[in-house]
Amino acid sequence: MRAHARLLAAALLTACAGAGGDGTETATATTTAATDDPTASACPAPAEPCDGLCVDLASDPAHCGACGRSCPAGQACYASQCRPLCDEGQTVCDGACVDARADPNNCGGCGLQCPDELVCAAGSCQPACPSGQTACDGACVDLALDTAHCGACDDPCDPSQSCEAGACKNPCEPGQLYCGGDGCVDPQADAGHCGGCGLQCPAGAPCLHGACDLIDIDHLLLTGQSLSTGWNSAVLSDTQPYNNRRFSTGVRAGAVGLTELVPLIETADAQNGETIASGLANLAAATWQARGFLPRQLLVSAHGVPGARYELIKQGTAAYAAGLAQIAAAKQIADLTRQSYRVRAVAVVHGESDHNDFPPPGNPDYAANLLAWRAAYDTDARAITGQSEEIVMLFCQVSSWTAFGEATSSIPAQQWQIARTDPLRFALVGPKYFLPYSDIVHLTGDGTRWLGEHYAKAYARIFLEGQPWRPLSPLAAALTGAAVVVDFHVPSPPLVLDTELVSDPGSYGFEFVDGSGEPPTITAVELSGPAQVTLTLSAEPTGPSPRIRYAWSGTPGAPAGPTTGPRGNLRDSDPTPSLHGYPLYNWAIHFDEPALAR
């Protein structure tokens, strides 16, 4: 309508401009009377005199085609004809307003008719499309789904987006990318799209945190007390099936003579035998290989001290210095052989003496000690290697405090506290109550190697999948009347109450307290979901501080183990295959959590 108004104004100005040679008489020509001489024409062509005025009969709506013939309201004068005023985007064809972008009889212009088998789209004749589709560039497309024509023809989405309901969207979960035929991928972990769609890692290399992982030698330090040195543990792993390494001085490498790397096997010296090193390294290599990657050259070296509480092996002690010597020696060997090298993690089997050497229930500062311990390794190791990656600390819970004469211990709770607070730097592998023991606190050779394979699962989760490891552990406990519902993080659902591998200590290891001194008892324990347990109490609790405990209390003086020590029967259904036939289920950790009223 605005365009036609401008056209009418231009026509009038043109007509009137012809009345004067210099343009100064234009207004006069349109408003003043014609000459008094009736035989002479005072109006220059194409204007003609009407009622004493010079007008253009071709465009004047008051004199359209003839003097005095006015156009009705809503019409304008075009080519001496009164015709309708058209909406924006329309044009007049044969006296009617049409949309030349979609009118098959006036497709792209007046009189341009499309054949019967075609339709008019975007001002051109195109194939007729089924219901729900639109012709774009000669093809029928669904504007609601087509990424090249999303919502409108020739309106494409980005390569990483999909078209949903006519809008470009990222169809994937947060942190994922849409990579065409491969669908949604995690660019932080997908070797075919490492860091972005189509960025493929070299054959055999995994993707870790958005970068291809190509390091030649990964070093894992092993420390702690006697359970880390293999005390009273028979040697089992006397061959090396992969490319894992130790120093020629042994898994318990010491601080001198560290000049050569040899295949990782276990050896005995004095009362020390099998460590977790072979179980960990060999299952890790098998996991890499099973996922289609080259097995890593994992170097493991131990520097723990039997019976040593934290203050005897922390930064500044001889044991700690031996660990740094092992790092420096390995870095030198790697440099000489032109191999890349880094320290990945410190595996710790520790905490018993920090329970036993302190008044009950154990060292109250053990959580702070773990924080300081990891930070020291991180600073000192990276100063030697020059690496940017932080050091991760992997550890397991103490499960043997009853052997020292106590019913409970604060150490397992402090270990869980650190892991749940900072899961990127600390990985709690799990408890040890389900493993076979050679005495009241030490594991058999099988128990030690079995524990090593549990460390391997956490290691692979962190350094192959790029995700933090979290054990089978409580998320929340809700109290409603006489029922407590406990939700769990379950690595491999569903949950199972297993009384074959671990004997039932009563209520499958669950306890309820409320601060009253006489809490209601647990009358039933049921699996109410793949990741949920419901406890039924004998009465609605009245105490001020209801709490749920699991594998928390034991009989003072009882040896550790699956039939005697502090324990429980809750596990998951992890199908991870062991290299030695061990069931690698994840068992619920020792915990003491508040039960919050709903």
**Is residue 138 situated within a structural domain?**
no
Work out the mean pLDDT of the chain and round it to a whole number: 90
Of residues 173 and 452, the one with the higher pLDDT is 452
Cα separations (Å) of 269 from 185, 193, 275, 446?
Answer: 49, 48, 12, 18
Average pLDDT over residues 333-359: 97
User: Other C-beta atoms within 10 Å of 572: how many?
Assistant: 22
CB of 402 within 8 A of CB of 452? no
* Domain-located, residue 494: yes
Answer yes or no: do 421 and 485 share one domain: no
Backbone angles phi, psi at 499, to 5 degrees: -105, 5
Mean pLDDT calculated for residue range 410-436: 98
The per-type count for the chain, helices as H runs and strands as E runs, is: 9, 33
Does 443 lie in the same domain as 367?
A: yes
Residue type, 418: I
Q: How far is CA 470 from the centre of its chain?
A: 15
Residues 400 and 488 in one domain: no
Give the pLDDT confidence score for residue 311 in this predicted structure.
98
What's the pLDDT band for 171 if we cut at 50, 70, 90? confident
Tell whether the model's pLDDT for residue 36 goes beyond 50: no
pLDDT of residue 249: 98
Same domain, 274 and 223: yes
Q: What is the pLDDT of residue 83?
A: 81
Domain harbouring 259, CATH code: 3.40.50.1110
* Residue written as token pair 């028979």: 234
Q: Say yes or no to pLDDT of 22 above 90.
A: no
Structure-model confidence comparison of residues 96 and 11, the more confident one: 96
**DSSP assignment of 17-50, as one string?**
HTT-SSSTTHHHHHHSPPPS-TTS--S-TT-EEE
pLDDT at 41 (0 to 100)? 55
Mean pLDDT for 12-30 is 38
Residue 76 near residue 10 (C-beta atoms within 8 A): no
Q: pLDDT tens digit string along 48-89? A: 899 888 999 888 888 998 998 988 887 888 888 888 788 788
Q: Which of 70, 85, 100 is the last residue of a domain?
A: 85
Same domain, 457 and 516: no
Is the pLDDT reported for residue 470 higher than 90?
A: yes
Range from 153-157, 477-481, 549-553, 578-582 carrying the lowest mean pLDDT: 153-157
Q: Has residue 512 been placed in a domain?
A: yes
| Last residue in a domain, options 436, 463, 490 | 463
417, 493: one domain: no
Return the pLDDT at 138: 72
Answer whether residue 95 shows pLDDT above 80.
no
What local confidence, expressed as pLDDT, does residue 28 receive? 34
Determine, yes or no, domain membership for 146.
no
Domain shared by 408 and 506, yes or no: no
Q: Which two tokens stand for residue 520?
A: 């209601």
Range of the domain at 72: 2-85
pLDDT of 503-514, one tens digit each?
Answer: 999 999 999 999
> What total number of domains does the chain contain?
3
The average pLDDT across 225-237 equals 98
pLDDT of residue 227: 98
Does one domain contain both 312 and 455? yes
Residues 500 and 558 in one domain: yes
| Higher pLDDT pick, 55 / 355 | 355
103, part of any domain: no
Alpha carbons 571 and 397: distance in angstroms, whole number:
16
Asked if 237 and 385 sit in the same domain, the reply is: yes
Would you say residue 407 lies in a domain? yes
| pLDDT band for position 191 (cuts 50, 70, 90) | very high
Residue 87: name the closest of 110, 96, 79 by CA.
96
Summarised one tens digit per residue, pLDDT across range 363-405 is 999 999 999 999 999 999 999 999 999 999 999 999 999 999 9
- 18-27, 34-43, 241-250: which has the minimum mean pLDDT? 18-27
Q: Would you say residue 510 lies in a domain?
A: yes
Q: Quick one: 368 and 345 in the same domain? A: yes
Mean pLDDT of 563-575: 98
Residue 532 belongs to domain with CATH number: 2.60.40.1130
Ranges of beta strands (E only) in 303-419 are: 341-349, 392-395
* % of the chain beyond a pLDDT of 90: 72
In this prediction, residue 100 carries a pLDDT of: 87
DSSP state of 248: T
Residues 6+ apart with CB under 8 A from 64: 57, 70, 71, 77, 80, 81, 82
- What gap in Å lies between CA 246 and CA 258, rounded to an integer? 10
Tell me which of 415, 444, 463 is where a domain ends.
463
Q: Is residue 210 part of a domain?
A: no
pLDDT at 46: 86
Q: What is the pTM of this model?
A: 0.75
pLDDT above 80 (res 31):
no
Closest CA to 560 of 478, 464, 451, 470: 451
Residues 442 and 558 in one domain: no
| pLDDT of 9 over the 70 cut | no
